[in-house]
Amino acid sequence: MTWEDLRERFLRAAGLFTRDRRERELDEELAFHLAMKERSYVDGDGLTQKEAAMQAKRDFGNVSRWKELCRDVARWRLIEEFGRDLSLAARTLRKSPAFTLVALATLTLAIGANTAIFSLMNAIVLRPVPLPAANRLGMLRIQPDRFGYAFMYPLYKELEKQSSRIMEVFAFTGRDLQVRVPDGVERVSGQLVSGHYFSALGVQPTLGRWIGPNDDRRGAPDGAVVVVSDRFWRTRLGGDPHAVGRRLTINQISFTVAGVMPEGFRGMNRDQQPDVFVPFELEPLMDAPYDNISVGWHAWWFQVGMRLNGGVTLQQANAFLRAASSRIFDASLPPADFQFDGHKKKDLYLAAEPGAAGYSYLRLQFKKPLTVLMALVVLVLLIACLNLATLLMARAASRTREITTRFALGASRARLIRQLLTESLLLAACGTALGLLAAPALARLMVAAFTPRHDPLSPILDVSPDWTVFAFTAGVAILATALTGIAPALRSTGDGLRGSLQEGSATLRGAGRRKLWPRILMTAEVGLALVLVTGATLLAYSMVKLRQIPIGFEPQGLVYLPLELEKQSRQGPALTAVHREVVEEVRKLPGVAGVSLSMVVPLSGNWSTSSADTAKTKIDELWQNRVGPDYFQTMRTPFLEGRDVRWTDSTAPDTVAILNQAAAKQLFPGEDAVGQHFSLDGGKSQTEVIGVVGDAKYSNIRDAAPPTMYAPVMWDKEAKASYIVVIRASNPGAAQVSALISAAQAIIRRNVPDIPPPAAVTMEQTLAESLATERMMSALALFFGALALLITAIGLYGTLAYATERRTGEIGIRLALGAQPRNVISLVCGENGAIALAGCVVGIAGSVAASKLVASFLYGVSTRDPAVFGLAALVLLAVAAVASLAPAIRAARIDPLTAIRHE
Amino acid sequence: MGKRETDVAPSGDLIQGTLDMLILKALAAGPLHGYGVAEWIHARSHDVLKVDEGALYPALHRLDLRGLLQAEWGASENNRRAKFYKLTTAGRKHLETERDRWSRLASAVGFVMASA
């Protein structure tokens, strides 16, 4: 680009924000033209003044269109100039590759992380379910909020009866179903849905019809019908256009296919992708031998949604529910003294909330952790932006000459600010584009942590970006541009022409107004980084504490294989024999250090309790497990006294049991428990204690080991009790464990061919899953904390390096006058030292305020833990020291002669 | 009216590049205001080309923004304030290349039309 070009551009640019003047000039030019034309008509053609004026106007035609054409030219200039600014910015950035690389890397990571977390937020919290008029849908729940979204059958029936004028209510719940296929039995994701489910959701089937109120009862006119998904229809029914009417055997019940739903239909539960929809009232057939419907108000087992009737608002629906609640609860919840978690029956009422986002268990579980993570990544973004702003400012300081030259050539301040902002915009745009590329991988990584089980029936989380995500990211990019660009652009153009005149003396004066802004920004950056580091340290420390909790057994090498025997024909002692046969065969496999049976997988979240009492003592919640012989040896839980259960123990219920230490101490304080008796659930039979074992965690690793009773598997009251085969591998290596799993699965398939092959789960997986949220949060927080430290270090280093370079002359003079290198080092480092200390003070104050956000995720750590705060501050100060030392040492090595010549 | 209608070439028939070239040529001799440019082209084309105002001014502004012209306010021959356009160095160069291009094009079209 030649100097002429530059000059042209800046002269033309000077007129950019003077639109009024341009309009006036346009008018004047037009008036002049008309006047000249008039004169030529008068002088040349002899028209009168009036005729001439009219003719001139007529020649000209539509004036406003003419003006518009001229304005278009000016608008086009804006675009053209933007293009040139962009190419200039690109060239400038290419000239300082180190700066550009750092800027892009930090922005990419920050924007990528923000986009990833936001797309999770979007998928779990924001995105509406793909159903027609989803904003008319609602979810019902019981207030005060102690029940989640769970309902019981009589309550739902009563609600359905009383609310039809206001809304169409529907019930639904997920079920794993066993569908008979030509080569055995397969597990598919199913959904029990009431008769109004489909009509309320409003999606038409592609084939046949949906399940209606007439299908939703025992002995329906058309028999038992199901609606299947498009996926099921394609894969299992071969895409048969005459699939309606075909028979399917599900959970050993024969069904008729009534309809096929369109592709992508997932229903109201957004975590699931059901393949088979079964009428709700057939639950007893599906859950056999259990029956939640006839259990009535004791079983809270499904969710209720609704669609508002035409013209009814959510407020009106809630007003109705509030008023009708006492009637509904009185009719459906018989015990007058019903109480749950401190709330009496008369306190309970039904409430409706917006259901456009569907029902999601994941949302209930992960909304809070995601909110915390979102706050963390916003902090990272702020730090990255502040960092770029300070670096740009430092760089602008070394570009003073260039900027002053442009002022001298006549560029307006607005024009220069626009030029400088284009540079930040280019950085932000590139960072955003790269961040968008990086985001899906990061989001998928987190999804894996949220829904860890590799199981076709585990929750589904679709984090593919949509317009909401793109809009969010665009917003982030604009914010990043503004945050990084505006302050430096204002600062570096603020002095106008004086800039270069003062430049020489400003370096000598050292501190001053010019340095105030970068310092404030750096201090803020250090403060924010400390907040992040403190948060990360708190979460990581809590994770360490969780990891150190003694759990009462050895998790490495434990494998669980649940047998699902409810849907096959054998029962009672024959079934016990099946279990025993499997255990005996597995025991003979090579690499098996122990094998037994158990009713629950510890720490999986499943549980069962009973009350227990003796003449003197009582335990309200005695946690239950049923175990086979050798269970404690397999688990490596210490056996303290008495004997183990045996296959030869009595099959009569409530005869013998093993207690853990906690239960033994509570039931028989100060006595030897072995040989004593107690009764269960207020029953008459006396259970004898045959042994006492060490305490082990039961359902949740955070809770203390509860008082627990282990009864032999032989005396189960259920006819078709199913147990879990527990195996301890003598070598816990992944290859050995998976070989063992395949061998055990083969044994099970041979012994019980009429059940789906059991999915194996290891204790280490279960343990990891039970801490998945905490682990993911602490890992991400550590990552973001480290990122913040790195960014801050780059910022401290960069600004100091620039500043020191500008002070080369001054330092040279100092050295020439006899200053020692260490004086120079302390002089240079002092700048950053002050910033780091001020930042720490700000950061500690911020951390105290922000730590409340993570308080509910901490285990065994106080949000005010001075050790954590001290450690975080120390780490930050150490990083600041390292980042500052390099420029300082370089400054101390300056050769005075060269330095003074440089000036 | 009607007196000046002889051989009017509506601006739409003038290829835009050609109008730009004619404007640059008009200004090659010295600065002119918009009206002057139109008059000059009209006169030099022996009254064949009449430049439409609706196209002239946008073209002038565009050439100005491209840096081929430079606009300045000055006094007109009848002492009114008028916007004068002056050729820049870049404009002069542009005119040269356009002139070459045009003569090549014109002779090429001539050959085609002259052939049997």
CB nearest to A29's CB, from B3, B65, B83: B83
A526-549: pLDDT as tens digits: 999 999 999 999 999 998 888 888
Domain total of chain B: 1
- And the tokens for A633? 């040896």
Query: B75 CB near a chain A CB, below 8 Å?
Result: no
A570-608: pLDDT as tens digits: 887 888 888 999 999 999 999 999 999 998 888 887 777
Residues in chain B closer than 8 A to A36 (CB atoms): 35, 76
Q: Which of A877 and A70 is assigned the larger pLDDT? A: A877
Q: Which of B42, B65, B69, B81 to mutate to probe the A interface, most A CBs <10 Å?
A: B65
B66-89: pLDDT as tens digits: 788 888 888 887 788 888 999 988
**pLDDT for the residue numbered A278:** 96
A279-334: pLDDT as tens digits: 999 999 888 777 889 888 878 899 999 999 999 999 999 999 999 999 999 999 88
Q: Quick check: B83 and A55 CB within 8 A? A: no
CA distance A417 to chain B (A): 21
Residues in chain A closer than 8 A to B81 (CB atoms): 28, 32
**pLDDT for the residue numbered A700:** 81
**pLDDT for the residue numbered A507:** 45
**pLDDT for the residue numbered A586:** 94
Closest Cα partner for A105 from A435, A532, A524, A375?
A435
Mean pLDDT of chain A: 85
Amino acid code (one letter) for A495 = D
CB nearest to A70's CB, from B35, B61, B89: B61
CA distance B104 to chain A (A): 29
CA distance B74 to chain A (A): 12
Tell me: cis bond preceding A213? Omega within 30 of 0 counts. no
CB nearest to A4's CB, from B1, B35, B90: B90
**pLDDT for the residue numbered A4:** 54
CA distance B49 to chain A (A): 15
In a domain, B3, yes or no: no
A450-471: pLDDT as tens digits: 665 545 556 677 777 788 888 9
Beta strands in A522-630 (DSSP E): 558-562, 592-598, 609-613, 618-627
Residues in chain B closer than 8 A to A37 (CB atoms): 35
Query: B42 CB near a chain A CB, below 8 Å?
Result: no
Question: Residue A179's beta-bridge partner residues?
Answer: A186, A250
Query: A672 CB near a chain B CB, below 8 Å?
Result: no
Q: Quick check: B58 and A12 CB within 8 A? A: no
- And the tokens for A885? 């030392």
**pLDDT for the residue numbered A631:** 95
Q: What is the DSSP letter of A554?
A: -
Q: What is the DSSP letter of A65?
A: H
| Helix or strand holding residue A509 (H, E) | helix A498-509
In a domain, B4, yes or no: no
Residue A1 has pLDDT above 50, yes or no: no
CA–CA separation, A243 vs A824, rounded Å? 86
Q: How confident is the model at residue B5 (pLDDT cuts 50, 70, 90)?
A: very low
Q: Quick check: A59 and B53 CB within 8 A? A: yes
Residues in chain B closer than 8 A to A74 (CB atoms): 61, 65
A726-761: pLDDT as tens digits: 999 999 888 899 899 999 999 998 888 878 778 888
Q: Does ipTM surpass 0.85 in this model?
A: no
Query: A677 CB near a chain B CB, below 8 Å?
Result: no
Of all residues in chain B, the one with the smallest CA distance to A9 is B67
Q: Which of A97-106, A396-405, A519-528 has the lowest mean pLDDT?
A: A396-405
Residues in chain A closer than 8 A to B33 (CB atoms): 32
**pLDDT for the residue numbered A367:** 85
Residues in chain B closer than 8 A to A55 (CB atoms): 1
Query: A80 CB near a chain B CB, below 8 Å?
Result: yes
CA–CA separation, A680 vs A624, rounded Å? 11
Closest Cα partner for A92 from A360, A406, A318?
A406
In a domain, B2, yes or no: no
DSSP string, A735-777: HHHHHHHHHHHHHHHHH-TTSPPPPPEEHHHHHHHHTHHHHHH
Give CA torsion, residues A553, A559, A565, A567, to 10 deg: 120
**pLDDT for the residue numbered A6:** 54
Q: How confident is the model at residue A489 (pLDDT cuts 50, 70, 90)?
A: confident
Q: What angle do CA A430, A433, A436 make, to 5 degrees?
A: 145
CA–CA separation, A674 vs A689, rounded Å? 5
**pLDDT for the residue numbered A406:** 74
CB B67 within 8 A of CB A8: yes
Closest Cα partner for A274 from A233, A324, A214?
A233
Q: How confident is the model at residue A73 (pLDDT cuts 50, 70, 90)?
A: confident
Domain that holds residue B41: 11-114
Interval B21-40 mean pLDDT: 90
CATH no. for residue B56? 1.10.10.10
Query: A23 CB near a chain B CB, below 8 Å?
Result: no
Q: Which of A10, A29, A72, A84 to mutate to probe the B interface, most B CBs <10 Å?
A: A29
Kindly state the percentage of chain A with pLDDT values over 90: 34
- Give phi and psi for A724, each to the nearest 5: -105, 130
Question: Distance between terminal CA atoms of chain A?
Answer: 29
Closest Cα partner for A839 from A864, A873, A794?
A873
A37-50: pLDDT as tens digits: 888 888 888 888 88
In a domain, B40, yes or no: yes
Interval A843-867 mean pLDDT: 87
Residue A416 has pLDDT above 90, yes or no: no
| Helix or strand holding residue A477 (H, E) | helix A467-493
- Give phi and psi for A335, each to the nearest 5: -65, 125
Query: A70 CB near a chain B CB, below 8 Å?
Result: yes
Residue A230 has pLDDT above 90, yes or no: yes
Interval A420-429 mean pLDDT: 88
CA distance A79 to chain B (A): 12
CA–CA separation, A619 vs A612, rounded Å? 5
CB nearest to A73's CB, from B39, B58, B67: B58
Q: Which of A103-112, A166-175, A446-455, A795-804 has the lowest mean pLDDT?
A: A446-455
In a domain, B76, yes or no: yes
- And the tokens for A237? 């029914």
A330-349: pLDDT as tens digits: 999 887 777 776 788 888 99
| Helix or strand holding residue B101 (H, E) | helix B89-114
Q: Quick check: B54 and A66 CB within 8 A? A: yes
Residue A552 has pLDDT above 70, yes or no: yes
Query: B74 CB near a chain A CB, below 8 Å?
Result: no
Interval A482-507 mean pLDDT: 66
**pLDDT for the residue numbered A514:** 61
Query: B53 CB near a chain A CB, below 8 Å?
Result: yes
CB A297 within 8 A of CB A154: yes
Residue A695 has pLDDT above 90, yes or no: yes
Residue A99 CB neighbour total at 10 angstroms: 20
A6-65: pLDDT as tens digits: 555 555 555 444 556 777 888 888 888 888 888 888 888 888 888 888 888 887 777 777
CB nearest to B57's CB, from A35, A70, A80: A70
**pLDDT for the residue numbered B11:** 42
CA–CA separation, A749 vs A728, rounded Å? 20
Range among A17-31, A69-83, A382-396, A621-635 with highest mean pLDDT value: A621-635
Residue A508 has pLDDT above 50, yes or no: no
Helix axes A772-806, A513-548, angle to 10 degrees: 150
Query: In whole angstroms, what separates CA A752 from the centre of its chain?
Result: 41
**pLDDT for the residue numbered A203:** 93
CB nearest to A33's CB, from B35, B61, B90: B35
Q: Which of A481 and A201 is assigned the larger pLDDT? A: A201
**pLDDT for the residue numbered A513:** 55
Residue A506 has pLDDT above 50, yes or no: no
CA distance B35 to chain A (A): 6
Of all residues in chain A, the one with the smallest CA distance to B37 is A33
In a domain, B5, yes or no: no
Long-range contacts formed by A579-587: CB under 8 A, 24+ apart: A579/A628, A579/A713, A579/A723, A580/A628, A580/A647, A581/A751, A582/A725, A582/A747, A582/A748, A582/A751, A582/A752, A583/A628, A583/A725, A585/A747, A585/A751, A586/A725, A586/A727, A586/A743, A586/A744, A586/A747
Residue A163 CB neighbour total at 10 angstroms: 21
